[in-house]
Structure 1
Amino acid sequence: MAVRLSLLLGFTLAVLHGAASAQQQAFSRETRQLHYVWQYEDAATQAFTLRLPDSQILPVWTTWHAGRAQEFVLSQLIRNARQRYPGVTFNLRRTADGDIVDYQSFDERQIEQIKTWLPQQQEILFNAWLAQHYYKRHGDDSSHLIRPDHTRIAADSSTGLRELARTLQRVIIASAPPTLKQRYQQDERALVVAGLLNFVQSIPYDPLQSADGLRGVAFLMPEQVLTQNRGDCDSKSVLMMALLKALYPELTQAIVYIPEHAFLAVALPPPTGNEQTLQIGDTLFLPLEVAGPAEIPPGVTGEKSRLAILNQQYQYDLLPGAARRDNEP
């Protein structure tokens, strides 16, 4: 008897191109301090420093490698099988079509149990490997596409980025000219969201792949995007999501996927009523094109995103807002 193991393939997300370039005028790094010179639209140029926490927030991102996942699943599967069925012989057989777990038993009822147990255990082990390395299936449990677990990464990064996010919040509020405050109708949260969007757009775009495209799933954790001052569309979207989660935990967010692109959406009303929105469940969301380098304000999208929203041809992962407590401001 044998069970064939198959592993899943990943995909990457690409850039949104734009004509204008967001205004990061200078960047340097000194250990855990990040120094910027940045201009938000027509506001005065700001020089400021962001400080990362003393310890690393999340592990450095590990690029998807099917062989590592396969090695973990196979070795642990054989070990667990031998412990659960000590009288049964289990062996791994490598074939041109993949790896097969062979087993032998004189008990026909036990063979039927093993036949059911092995694929179930394989699934449990594979999901455990994904969770440990911040990966997940793209879509439902039967999906054969693997990608970073964007919302979990954002949520787990947000606490460590809270003080950094508050510094950015103060810079945005202090530097915003009257025209921007009027645009967002004295809504401080909307103003900060727009400012954070501009700041993250200004981080240089990098596709994070080799020219031959053989690196697999490319991604950087939020802290890596900041320290390396680069990122692709989903890496920068997750950084933005983590910063918003740190400042406004009650704000519901979604990362939205269309072919070869990702962008963020937040459950905020349109500032003027003329912006594009998308609906998730019963809630309207404001799209945020985080990739850059174009300075695209909240509620304005690239043509590809706009058509996907109009035709409802997108998928998403939701990061629900936390319930506010009575003693919170």
Structure 2
Amino acid sequence: VPKVFAQQTAFEKTSRDGDILFSYQWNLPNGKLTQLSFSVNQREFLKPFATFRSYDRKRALRELNYQVNQYIQRQRWYGVEATLSPRQEKLTLSIRKARTEPLQQRYQQQLTKTQQFFNQQWRDYLSANYYRKLSLPLGETGIVPDAVTIAEKTQSLLRTLVVAIGNELKDNSRRSYTNYVGHFVQSIPYDSLSSKLSSRGDGFTPPNYLLLNNRGDCDSKVSLTLALLKEIIPEARMIIVYLPKHAIFGIQMAKQANDITLMHNGTEFVLMDVAGPAVLPAGQLSSDVQFLVNTGQYTVIKGN
């Protein structure tokens, strides 16, 4: 475990004339104190994802149960019904017993069409609420916030921050920008992630609200990193690497001798853990995270 920890030495947030001014101070790995300030229009900045909620299976099934039953009523079908379990943890589609074989076949067709309708509604529900299905190699599956789409939707809100970073680094290498953004995100106070994949999104904070609250878990921090670096280096390919209880960032750039990398679809990505508080430059991971990568316990999601 590295001995250097990223820590903000100062953070200020002030509202003035409809704007929010953010000011940061933190120590770079070389011990040098760095400062960064930017301002945003408060209304524009806080509008996206103001009502973002963590995934709740019971709430989702209640909504879907209502939609499916409305669908069955509109079709005037009597051969199929949708029922929600008493604890609202399962939605079951069932078929009635018919008196004749032709009628039974018709009921079966109704069931098939209702199942198709449910599947489409389920996909639409996930998409509309910025969730996605995630499966990890050891068979664990769950619903998590769609960190890539959320990063895309908040990218334009971060332009004044990107300009401030550009003023600091000017004409610099891909690695310098990646490290600077990574260390900035590492220095933001950390919120721990739920250990269960089923409740993994509980603490997720979209990039604009992560900056506003000045704290976030690893999934949220990866989404912020992705939003910033896609705005700064749009031509670089990027990935999110989901691990058990953790997530890290990957970017396509010139490899250095000791970099830890991951090959995905023919592209080599240099990995970076932006969770903090450990200060880790691009290409370096803690031994436990490196073990998960080396043993293939990850799922890669394309960042762009």
TM-score normalized by the length of structure 1 = 0.78
Of residues 285, 288, 301, the one that matches 2:285 is: 301
Query: How many residues are treated as equivalent by the alignment?
Result: 287
- Stretch deviating more after TM superposition (38-47 or 24-33): 38-47
- Stretch deviating more after TM superposition (301-310 or 239-248): 301-310
Give the distance between the partners of 2:193 and 2:296, measured in 1 at CA: 28
Of residues 214, 224, 237, the one that matches 1:239 is: 224
TM-score normalized by the length of structure 2 = 0.84
Report the counterpart of residue 106 of structure 2 in structure 1.
110
SS of the residue aligned with 1:298? coil
Of residues 213, 223, 242, the one that matches 1:228 is: 213
Residue correspondence of structure 1 range 159-174 to structure 2 within 5 A: 159-171=156-168, 173=169
Contact 1:18–1:292 (CA under 8 A) maintained in structure 2: no
Of residues 80, 95, 98, the one that matches 2:71 is: 80
Give the distance between the partners of 2:209 and 2:21, measured in 1 at CA: 13
Of residues 48, 60, 77, the one that matches 1:58 is: 48
Query: What is the alpha-carbon root mean square deviation over aligned residues?
Result: 2.8
Contact 2:11–2:22 (CA under 8 A) maintained in structure 1: yes
SS of the residue aligned with 2:202? coil
SS of the residue aligned with 1:306? helix
How far off its partner does 1:188 sit?
A: 2.7
Give the distance between the partners of 2:295 and 2:93, measured in 1 at CA: 45
SS of the residue aligned with 1:73? helix
Contact 2:77–2:110 (CA under 8 A) maintained in structure 1: no
C-alpha spacing 1:264/1:103, structure 2 compared with 1 (3 Å)? same
More helix by share: 2
How far off its partner does 1:169 sit?
A: 2.6
Residue correspondence of structure 1 range 1-329 to structure 2 within 5 A: 19-31=3-15, 32-42=20-30, 44-54=32-42, 55=44, 56=46, 58-60=48-50, 61-83=52-74, 85-88=75-78, 92-96=82-86, 98-101=90-93, 107-139=103-135, 144-171=141-168, 173=169, 187-207=172-192, 217-270=202-255, 272-320=256-304
Identity of aligned residues (%): 26
How far off its partner does 1:233 sit?
A: 0.8
Deviations 1:264-304 (A, max 9, x none): 0101112x322221111211111111000011111000112
C-alpha spacing 1:19/1:167, structure 2 compared with 1 (3 Å)? same
Q: Name stretches of at least 5 consecutive residues in structure 1 with no aligned partner.
A: 1-16, 175-185, 321-329
Contact 1:18–1:293 (CA under 8 A) maintained in structure 2: no
How far off its partner does 1:58 sit?
A: 2.4
C-alpha spacing 1:69/1:194, structure 2 compared with 1 (3 Å)? same
SS of the residue aligned with 2:4? coil
How far off its partner does 1:90 sit?
A: 6.2
Q: Which structure carries more relative contact order (alpha carbon 8 Å, separation 6+)? A: 1
Deviations 1:11-35 (A, max 9, x none): xxxxxx7542214111121232212
